[in-house]
């Protein structure tokens, strides 16, 4: 026959003598007044900025039901912290108390409004790398039950960059590169060719891992390799991706594109040369007209008719050039405008 003590201890009642005198023999088994309904020590890897629920449901022995005398403490244990225990959240006599010095006060709360209702679980918000440590839940009644959760907070991989090196021409080799500049190591890189732009698919033949972790080498590029490729960078707490679209061009078509580009460039240069030549001609025509007008003024308006010929002469040995104006009847006056090394000089017209 089994009975239960006031503190939750089991004991066995047995006969101690033939005369029927009985005695109580305590069983070596001792029941805790508080028991936490959770598996052993938990280990969690979480991402920076996430929120997490640290569970701590518990039960009380029937004799210990009720909130009187119930105490709950949450303690953070970190390797770099020494000294007294860091109790950052507690409950006692219907009051919730927040500790100080841990940086968790504004980011932690009990999941239940009343933790005495058999649930001492808490929620941590906006996790930081500095929150890494061991979190210990203690529920006290006549005895103490303890549950531990080891939390490691890491940074997700930063958005990677994807690019190609090599010529996108059929038959050539090309290198697909992927690199993430942030995130907690180790980082794992994986390339996949997307099927119709949705899920990941197998890589086609001719693709091998490059020297760097995020490199993918494609040899003998062909139409089979055309499509969208995705690089996935992962660590324990998350992943990030980037994509590339490959469209290899036929080799003959590529040569035509190059020739067309060259011809187009030559045509553009020719048009530019024509435009410059037209501007120079227009400028010379205006200079001729102005010089003829100066010649007409120097003769006192005695010219029988307007200038009919404008010519530009250049003396290459000295870089001297002048404008000459011819008049009707074989009369000719010297230039009224002469340029020497970019400086214009007015020259008087000689007498007829």
* Most trustworthy range by pLDDT among 28-37, 229-238, 336-345: 229-238
Q: What secondary structure does DSSP assign to 17-43, as a single string?
A: STT--EEEEEEEEE--SEEE-S-S-EE
Task: Give residue 325's Cα distance to chain centre.
Answer: 72
Q: Which residue has the higher pLDDT, 71 or 330?
A: 71
Residue 297: band (very low, low, confident or very high) from pLDDT cuts 50, 70, 90:
low
Give the pLDDT confidence score for residue 8 in this predicted structure.
Answer: 32
- Which pair of structure tokens corresponds to residue 8? 């939750």
CB neighbour list of residue 307: distance below 8 Å, 6 or more residues apart: 288, 292, 295, 296, 325, 326, 327
Q: In whole numbers, what is the pLDDT of the chain averaged over residues? A: 75
Answer whether residue 189 shows pLDDT above 50: yes
Answer whether residue 44 shows pLDDT above 50: yes
CB 175 within 8 A of CB 166: yes
Query: What is the 3-state secondary structure of 64-123?
Result: HCCCCCCEEEEEEECCCCCCCCEEEEEEECCEEEECCCCCCHHHEEECCCCCCCCECCEE
Residue 49: band (very low, low, confident or very high) from pLDDT cuts 50, 70, 90:
very high
CB 227 within 8 A of CB 194: yes
Answer whether residue 75 shows pLDDT above 90: yes
Give the pLDDT confidence score for residue 345 in this predicted structure.
Answer: 46
d(CA 291, CA 281) in angstroms, rounded, equals 15
Query: Is the N-terminal amide bond of 50 cis, ω within 30° of 0?
Result: no
- Which pair of structure tokens corresponds to residue 239? 């992943």
Residue 17: band (very low, low, confident or very high) from pLDDT cuts 50, 70, 90:
very low
- Distance (Å) of CA 204 to CA 209, 213, 216, 248: 13, 19, 12, 14
Q: For the range 334-339, what are the long-range contacts, defined as Cβ-Cβ under 8 Å and sequence gap of 24 or more?
A: 335/291, 336/291, 336/294, 336/295, 336/298, 337/287, 337/290, 337/291, 337/294
20 exposed, middle or buried (CB, 10 Å; 0-12, 13-18, 19+)?
exposed
Determine which of 80-84, 294-298, 336-340 has the lowest per-residue pLDDT on average. Answer: 336-340
Give the pLDDT confidence score for residue 252 in this predicted structure.
Answer: 62
Query: What is the 3-state secondary structure of 158-212?
Result: CCCEEEEEECCECCCCEEEEEECCCCCCCCEEEEEEECCCCCEECCCCCEEECCC
CB 285 within 8 A of CB 294: no
Give the pLDDT confidence score for residue 300 in this predicted structure.
Answer: 54
Q: Tens of pLDDT along 299-320?
A: 555 444 444 444 444 433 444 4
Determine which of 15-29, 78-92, 226-240, 280-294 has the lowest per-residue pLDDT on average. Answer: 15-29
CB neighbour list of residue 44: distance below 8 Å, 6 or more residues apart: 52, 149, 150, 151, 152
Farthest CA pair distance, the chain? 171
Determine which of 43-57, 134-148, 201-215, 328-342 has the lowest per-residue pLDDT on average. Answer: 328-342
Q: Which residue has the higher pLDDT, 322 or 251?
A: 251
- Distance (Å) of CA 21 to CA 4, 18, 255, 348: 20, 7, 112, 156
Answer whether residue 103 shows pLDDT above 70: yes
d(CA 259, CA 303) in angstroms, rounded, equals 59
Measured CA angle at 46 (ends 45, 47), to 5 deg: 135
Give the pLDDT confidence score for residue 260 in this predicted structure.
Answer: 76
Residue 277: band (very low, low, confident or very high) from pLDDT cuts 50, 70, 90:
confident
Give the pLDDT confidence score for residue 262 in this predicted structure.
Answer: 87
Determine which of 47-51, 153-157, 189-193, 270-274 has the lowest per-residue pLDDT on average. Answer: 270-274
Q: Quick one: average pLDDT of 22-46? A: 61
* Most trustworthy range by pLDDT among 57-61, 78-82, 290-294: 57-61
């Amino acid at each position: 026959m089994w009975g239960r003590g006031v503190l939750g201890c089991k004991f066995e009642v047995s006969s101690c003598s033939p005369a029927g005198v009985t005695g109580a023999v305590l069983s070596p088994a001792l029941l805790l007044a508080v028991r936490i309904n959770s598996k052993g020590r938990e280990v969690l890897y979480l991402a920076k900025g996430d929120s997490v629920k640290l569970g701590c449901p518990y039960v009380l022995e029937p004799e210990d039901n009720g909130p009187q005398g119930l105490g709950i403490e949450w303690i953070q244990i970190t390797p770099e912290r020494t000294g007294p225990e860091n109790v950052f959240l507690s409950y006692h006599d219907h009051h919730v108390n927040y500790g100080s010095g841990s940086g968790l006060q504004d980011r932690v709360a009990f999941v239940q409004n009343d933790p005495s209702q058999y649930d001492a679980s808490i929620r941590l918000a906006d996790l930081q790398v500095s929150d890494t440590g061991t979190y210990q839940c203690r529920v006290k009644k006549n005895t103490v039950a303890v549950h531990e959760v080891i939390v490691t907070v890491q940074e997700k991989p930063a958005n990677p960059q994807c690019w190609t090196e090599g010529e996108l021409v059929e038959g050539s080799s090309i290198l697909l590169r992927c690199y993430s500049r942030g995130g907690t190591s180790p980082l794992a890189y994986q390339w996949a060719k997307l099927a119709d732009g949705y899920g990941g698919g197998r890589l086609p033949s001719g693709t091998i891992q490059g020297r760097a972790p995020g490199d993918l080498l494609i040899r003998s590029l062909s139409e089979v390799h055309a499509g969208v490729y995705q690089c996935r960078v992962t660590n324990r707490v998350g992943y990030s991706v980037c994509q590339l679209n490959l469209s290899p061009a036929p080799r003959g078509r590529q040569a035509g594109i190059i020739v067309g580009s060259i011809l187009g460039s030559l045509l553009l240069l020719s048009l530019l040369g024509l435009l410059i030549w037209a501007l120079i001609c227009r400028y010379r025509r205006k200079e001729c007209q102005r010089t003829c007008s100066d010649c007409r003024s120097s003769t006192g308006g005695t010219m029988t008719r307007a200038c009919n010929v404008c010519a530009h002469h250049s003396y290459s040995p000295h870089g001297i050039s002048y404008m000459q104006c011819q008049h009707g009847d074989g009369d000719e006056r010297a230039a009224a405008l002469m340029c020497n090394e970019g400086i214009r000089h007015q020259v008087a017209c000689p007498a007829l």
